[in-house]
Amino acid sequence: MIKLKDIKSLYLSELCDELAVIDLPKFRAKQVFKWLTDGVTSFDEMTNLSLPLREKLSRIYYIANAQIERKLESKRDETVKYLFSFGGTTFVEAVVMKYHHGYTMCISTQEGCKMGCTFCATGRNGFKRNLTASEMLSQIQTAQKDLGIRISNIVLMGMGEPLDNYDNVIRFLRLVSSDDGLNVGIRHISLSTCGLVDKIYDLEKENLGITLSVSLHAPNDDIRNQTMPVNKRWNVDELLKACRYYSEKTKRRISFEYAMIDGVNDGDECAKELGKKLKGMLCHVNLIPVNTVEGTGYKKSKIERQKSFINILSHYGITATVRRTLGSDINASCGQLAGKRNQ
Ligand code: SAH
Ligand code: SF4
């Protein structure tokens, strides 16, 4: 059987080159690209192409499509959480959140994750496979169609470690932000990483202009080694050095994620150590009360701990805020739905 090619992961220039091989002129490639951007899920929908041409394309290519398997809508806010599948075999989650400036979508980059962070539902369920650029695009297209809205901001904070799927993620970022594509402003896109240091240096060289979020979650190696195995490969000092480099080169503020776990990383001494290490860096700290995940035994920090952290960090000139929790009634944090799919 011939393996069909992934047409929606191609840049317009690549699509032009590919279709030139089957004697199609550039304007045809542009028409096809426009349909793909509009989110069609079959070649039959490309009504300005002849039937034989549509049939020919469908013998060579497939169009990735995120099918809605489950949809949960928050009653407290307008957060919507999706469980998508690709071909009924790959399952990932994504969340759409409404803010005053528009709709933000959190998408997945892998089915599962290899990184094994102890507090994370995705990490606990292991790794299945990388998503393609087209599968990342499809999550946005399906949600836009389903909700009749336009997504203006994207965060790569769903299932998976984006920098562990580097090439596909970069391709997705270029596609989703291109003028002839979905045209989402690159400054409205954030990528969150657990700290693959070599890839942070590579990312800086791409000159993309996205916001980098770094899941730090601990001020030192003792604590970080316990919760984030990646720290044994690149420790806190190496990670922060890469972050300083990234923010100095790009002149963009790094956003540090810090999930506060009761009695693990939320003491005043942790806040002081964090303040000392981040001092002088162009950055912001997002404090997140840890979401309880079955089997971890971790509990959310008390509100008083959050306030103390904000206060101590401010002495070091670091701004910190507690992230607003959206969709708390629908388990909006990722990894929890896919993990429970069969229950
Ligand atoms: N792999 C990337 C992006 C996906 S995880 C990363 O780790 O950054 C998205 C964010 O959710 C990360 O900041 C991650 O640390 C955080 N997270 C995972 N499990 C969590 C939990 N139980 N409570 C709070 N935040 C969690
Ligand atoms: Fe993977 Fe991020 Fe979860 Fe860690 S927190 S296991 S890197 S998805």
User: pLDDT for 251-260, tens place per residue?
Assistant: 999 999 999 9
Contact 159, 110 (CB under 8 A): yes
User: What pLDDT does residue 340 have?
Assistant: 52
With 0-12 / 13-18 / 19 or more C-beta atoms within 10 angstroms meaning exposed / middle / buried, residue 25 is: exposed
The verdict on whether 257 is a catalytic residue reads no
Residue 341 has pLDDT above 60, yes or no: no
Q: Catalytic: which of 16, 93, 135, 161? A: 93
- Average pLDDT (268-290) is 97
| pLDDT confidence of residue 343 | 35
Strand partners, 189: 154
> pLDDT value at position 342?
38
Q: What are phi and psi of 9, to 5 degrees?
A: -90, 0
pLDDT tens digits, 201-252? 999 999 999 999 999 999 999 999 999 999 999 999 999 999 999 999 999 9
What does the block give as tokens for 341?
């799919």
Three-state DSSP class for residue 319: strand
Q: Could you give the CA distance from residue 70 to residue 239 in angstroms, rounded to a whole number?
A: 37
Residues 86-98: tens digit of each pLDDT: 999 999 999 999 9
How far from chain centre, in Å, is Cα 318?
25
Q: What integer pLDDT is reported at residue 337 of this predicted model?
A: 59
d(CA 178, CA 181): 5
Q: Which range has the worst mean pLDDT, 60-69, 120-129, 250-259?
A: 120-129
Q: State the pLDDT at residue 293.
A: 83
Is the pTM for the entire model greater than 0.85?
Answer: yes
Assess contact for 257 and 288: CB atoms under 8 A: yes
Distances (CA, A) of 85 to 90, 105, 229, 313, 341: 5, 17, 29, 42, 11
212 closest CA partner among 229, 187, 230: 187
User: What one-letter code names the amino acid at 149?
Assistant: I
More confidently predicted of 229 and 330 = 229
pLDDT averaged over every residue in the chain: 94
**Residues contacting ligand 1 via CB (< 6 Å):** 119-120, 157, 161, 192-194, 215, 257, 259, 288, 290-291, 293, 333
Band of residue 331 on the pLDDT scale cut at 50, 70, 90: low
For ligand 2, the distance from its centroid to the CA atom of residue 131, given in whole angstroms, is 15
Q: What is the predicted pLDDT for the residue at 336?
A: 57
d(CA 194, CA 180): 32
